[in-house]
Amino acid sequence: MGFRFRLASFFVVALILVQALTGLLVYQVTRHELIGEGKRRMQEAAQSFAHQFEDMADRAAASVQVLALDFALRSAVAQHDEATLSSALRNHGRRVGATQMLLVGTDGRVEVDTAGRWAAGSPFPYPDLVERSLQAPAAATVTWEQHAYWMVVVPVFAPDLVGYIGAAIPADNRMLVQLQQQSALPDNIELAAADATGRFAVLARGRDRSQLAVSLGANGRLPTAPAVVMVGGREFVSQAVWLRGARHSPRVAAVLGFSVDEALEPYRPVAAAWAGLLVFGLTVGLVCAWVIARSVSRPVEELASLARRIASGDYSAPDAPARPDELGQLASAFGNMAHAIREREARILHQAGHDQVTGLPNRAYIESAVQHALAARPQEPAALLMLGLGRLPEIIKTLGHVVSDRLMHAAGARLQAPAGDSLVARATETQLAIFLPGATLEEAMTAAHRVVEALGEPYREAELTLDFAPAIGIALAPEHGTDAGVLLRRAEVAMIGALHSDDAVVLYDPATDPHRPERLSLMGDLRHALEHGGIELHYQPKLNLQQGRIDAVEGLIRWRHPIAGPVAPDDFIALAEETGNIRRVTRWALGAGIAQAARWMAAGHAVRVSINVSARDLDDPELPNRLRDLLRAHGVAPAQIVLEITESAIMGKPETAIAVLRRMADDGIDLAIDDFGVGQSSFAYLRRLPVRELKIDKTFITHLARSREDRIIVSSIVELGHHLGYRVTAEGVDDADALAYLRDVGCDHAQGYLIAPPLQAQDVGQWLDPARWPLPAATET
């Protein structure tokens, strides 16, 4: 819907609304006045009808009274001549229009009924009319079998009171039509009375048959003041007037009404003329609105076209003719805006794809360019070099980002020559990337060594001399990936490997990638195995060298993957520590080890079980509480459990670790330092630790029988441990000479494949027999 159409529509709709509101207002005012006038007329008509109706009743009563004065009739009444009475009553009844003539005795009982409705001797149903007739002829409107009648009662004297004559004159449709013809009464006149259910039924009606009484009396009452009512989809002004009635007959009301729709009928030609004028006015208004809208909208549409052109990226100047008015000024402003946007967009696009420090393309730019090149030539070889400056993190910490930015700028400038036409970009704050399309491995290695050579000369600035220490990782396409993001990541992995090796250039090796997707899958599989019993503890016996028996075991986690088979503990334990799942693994190991210790104790074997604890576990203040709950749940004494921790785990956060370890030691749980001698030992912390055991690392035990230096170290550790009150255990004991030496120097326990490999729980029992362990003789050293 264009602007021109909307503008024209606005004018037309405004005109239609004004005309419609005007017509509605005129209609409502006219209708309101007609209804008001109708109500006034209705009050007058109701009063007039009541007077005429009652007047007709009085005239009928007078006619009946003349009958009562007839001598022959009075004689027949006095003589009780029923034949003469019946004939006279019928003749006189026809003259007054009565359909029923009655002779009522002075006792109030019917003696003669010309219509045969009431049997002779039955009580007259309207005794109040009999009483009233003694003063004057009594007339009332009564109902009988859904019809209305004037019931007239007059006394008969001969000369004394000898009876009463009653006449039932129908108040029917004919009578109502006669009244409407004789006076200006409404077309809608109905006589109605309530039935036994309280609803009003029509007894007689005039010319119109709209059932006003039924609609007005729906709630059991009739309005005695003019009211507006809808009957049969037509609107009426209506009013009810109650007629004079008898005590023992339902009261009869006259309901009058006139149609509002009929009253509005004379105005319909005026409305038709009004509608014609409205259509004519709308036609003229539409033409005028369209002309005005066209003259106003054309320049606006041209400006809208210019805006769409700018939105599509076309920033050329507008070709619309100059105008001196506001629209011309707006067009000029649009042109200036387009020029400014063109310059600003070019600047933003350059900034979005380039690094502000070095002026080189950034990571988003090179990723997009590499992806485009790989998609265009998917089968051609390509190489991506990721260059890292090993000294840069230290330079940033020492000298700040200002110096590091200048160093990166200098590195980028030096790469231009060895890179040639290849794309060079700044991938991260400390890394540069070079993309070599079509390069083989040999060409990539050659280019990488040229880059290392270009950065071999230190960077000098004032009194500063800084080495670049370049390290380059290479990823090849399509061998290492066909996606730019994958190549960048894998080149970065290779670069990190170069930073930690003696080679300045390293090719990506999937086997050494710590971020392989299968490692993520392995972590999910590990969680599933923990929850569904896919992991178990094996137990490696520890020989008491002084007593010659197995009195302790170390719990070692074993996992057989359903697809990959056995998974080395070093692989999934390290991954669990990296992903934060090591605490879940530790909780499982503690639960399984303590439960097994309880089973051995129930079988009569007092075996201490050692469980390894990670550095992340020592950050958990809830570990002592959880361990205490497990011991209590399985009924295991704290002395039956040993927790093994490494020196590095303690050195990471010594204060936190020492606090957690002391809480467990206070509960009676023994603590052991694992792999003692190869970590970052600190005797200042060692003397503060609540440990009870040192485990000599297997690197000192492997060549113990042949290495004098290893024997001296082991002997010193054993002596140091005993002086500090610790038990000493040697790991990795694989030959008998080493075992004999350990016994000779007083080592407490030995653990290794010479004694037993890690065993399933059900196989440990056969190793607990002391007769199985005759101690070997000591060897000369």
Cα distance between residue 319 and residue 701, in whole Å = 91
Phi, psi for 752 (deg, rounded to 5): 170, 175
For residue range 343-392, list pLDDT tens digits in order.
Answer: 787 777 777 778 888 888 888 888 888 899 888 888 889 999 998 887 78
Contacts by 696-703, CB closer than 8 A, 24 or more apart: 696/728, 696/729, 696/730, 696/731, 696/747, 697/731, 697/732, 698/731, 698/732, 698/752, 699/732, 701/730, 701/731, 701/732, 701/733, 701/734, 701/738, 701/742, 701/752, 702/732, 702/734
With a pLDDT cut of 90, the percent of the chain lying above it is 16
Q: How buried is 226 (Cβ within 10 angstroms: 0-12 exposed, 13-18 middle, 19+ buried)? A: buried
Phi, psi for 451 (deg, rounded to 5): -65, -45
> Strand 693-696 to strand 234-242: parallel, antiparallel, or no bridges (unpaired)?
unpaired
| pLDDT-wise least confident of 23-37, 107-121, 585-599 | 23-37
Cα distance between residue 740 and residue 754, in whole Å = 12
With a pLDDT cut of 70, the percent of the chain lying above it is 88
- Of these ranges, 84-88, 286-290, 348-352, the one predicted with the greatest mean pLDDT is 84-88
- pLDDT of 614 strictly over 80: yes
Cα distance between residue 600 and residue 544, in whole Å = 18
Angle (nearest 5°) at CA 353 between 352 and 356: 80
Tokens 């009662």 belong to 153
- pLDDT of 319 strictly over 70: no
Tokens of 206: 């005039």
Contact 109, 97 (CB under 8 A): no
| pLDDT-wise least confident of 183-192, 442-451, 513-522, 536-545 | 513-522
Higher pLDDT residue, 697 or 769? 697
Q: Give residue 541's pLDDT.
A: 95
Closest by Cα among 721, 655, 716, 666 to 692: 721
- pLDDT of 779 strictly over 50: no
**Residue 199 banded pLDDT, cuts 50, 70, 90:** confident
- pLDDT of 596 strictly over 50: yes
Closest by Cα among 173, 158, 183, 169 to 101: 169
> Strand 535-544 to strand 234-242: parallel, antiparallel, or no bridges (unpaired)?
unpaired
Q: Give residue 602's pLDDT.
A: 92
Q: Give residue 404's pLDDT.
A: 82
Higher pLDDT residue, 424 or 570? 424
Q: Give residue 777's pLDDT.
A: 43
Cα distance between residue 739 and residue 101, in whole Å = 148
Q: Give residue 780's pLDDT.
A: 42
Cα distance between residue 21 and residue 346, in whole Å = 57
Helix, coil or strand: residue 165: strand
Closest by Cα among 408, 412, 506 to 466: 408
Q: How buried is 137 (Cβ within 10 angstroms: 0-12 exposed, 13-18 middle, 19+ buried)? A: buried
What does each C-alpha distance from 111 to 84, 152, 247 come to in angstroms? 13, 16, 21
- CATH class as words, domain 37-274: alpha beta
For residue range 724-765, list pLDDT tens digits in order.
Answer: 889 999 999 999 999 999 999 999 999 999 999 999 999 998
Q: CA Rg, the chain, in Å? A: 60
pLDDT average, residue stretch 668-695 = 77
Q: Give residue 465's pLDDT.
A: 82
Q: Give residue 105's pLDDT.
A: 87
Helix, coil or strand: residue 573: helix
- pLDDT of 532 strictly over 60: yes
Beta partners for residue 235, in sequence order: 230
**Residue 320 banded pLDDT, cuts 50, 70, 90:** low
Contact 425, 432 (CB under 8 A): yes
Alpha helices in 603-703 (DSSP H): 623-634, 647-652, 654-666, 683-686
**Residue 147 banded pLDDT, cuts 50, 70, 90:** confident
CATH topology of domain 354-510: Alpha-Beta Plaits (3.30.70)
- pLDDT of 549 strictly over 50: yes
pLDDT average, residue stretch 333-347 = 74
Within 8 A by CB and 6+ apart from 140, the residues are 57, 126, 129, 150, 151, 244, 245, 246, 249
Cα distance between residue 216 and residue 148, in whole Å = 19
**Residue 632 banded pLDDT, cuts 50, 70, 90:** very high
Q: Give residue 94's pLDDT.
A: 85
Q: What is the mean pLDDT of the chain?
A: 82
Contact 554, 749 (CB under 8 A): no
Continuous segment of H or E residues that includes residue 353:
helix 326-353
Contact 434, 422 (CB under 8 A): yes
| pLDDT-wise least confident of 11-15, 106-110, 404-408 | 11-15
- pLDDT of 290 strictly over 90: no
Within 8 A by CB and 6+ apart from 28, the residues are none
Q: Give residue 493's pLDDT.
A: 87
pLDDT average, residue stretch 624-640 = 93
Q: Give residue 1's pLDDT.
A: 52
Label residue 94 left, alpha or beta by phi (over 0 means left) and psi (-120 to 50 means alpha): alpha
Higher pLDDT residue, 267 or 127? 127
Phi, psi for 535 (deg, rounded to 5): -120, 145
Amino acid of residue 650: I
Q: How buried is 574 (Cβ within 10 angstroms: 0-12 exposed, 13-18 middle, 19+ buried)? A: middle
**DSSP structure class, residue 458:** P
**Residue 295 banded pLDDT, cuts 50, 70, 90:** low
Cα distance between residue 282 and residue 278, in whole Å = 6
Contact 238, 179 (CB under 8 A): no
| pLDDT-wise least confident of 46-50, 211-215, 242-246 | 211-215
For the chain, domain boundaries: 37-274, 313-352, 354-510, 518-762
**DSSP structure class, residue 459:** E
Helix, coil or strand: residue 507: strand
Q: Give residue 322's pLDDT.
A: 58
Q: Strand (E) positions, 158-291? A: 161-170, 188-194, 200-205, 227-231, 234-242, 252-259
Helix, coil or strand: residue 116: coil
Contact 176, 160 (CB under 8 A): no
- pLDDT of 413 strictly over 50: yes
- Of these ranges, 173-187, 225-239, 447-461, the one predicted with the greatest mean pLDDT is 447-461
Higher pLDDT residue, 692 or 300? 692
Q: Give residue 117's pLDDT.
A: 85
Q: What is the DSSP string of 404-434?
A: HHHHHHHHHHHHHHHHTTSEEEE-SSSEEEE
For residue range 472-493, list pLDDT tens digits in order.
Answer: 899 998 888 888 888 888 888 8
Cα distance between residue 711 and residue 308, in whole Å = 87
- pLDDT of 700 strictly over 80: yes
Span 518-762: which CATH code?
A: 3.20.20.450
Crossing angle between the packed helical segments 582-602 and 569-579, to the nearest 10 degrees: 130
**DSSP structure class, residue 749:** E
| pLDDT-wise least confident of 314-328, 573-587, 707-721 | 314-328
pTM here is: 0.47
Tokens of 45: 């008509």
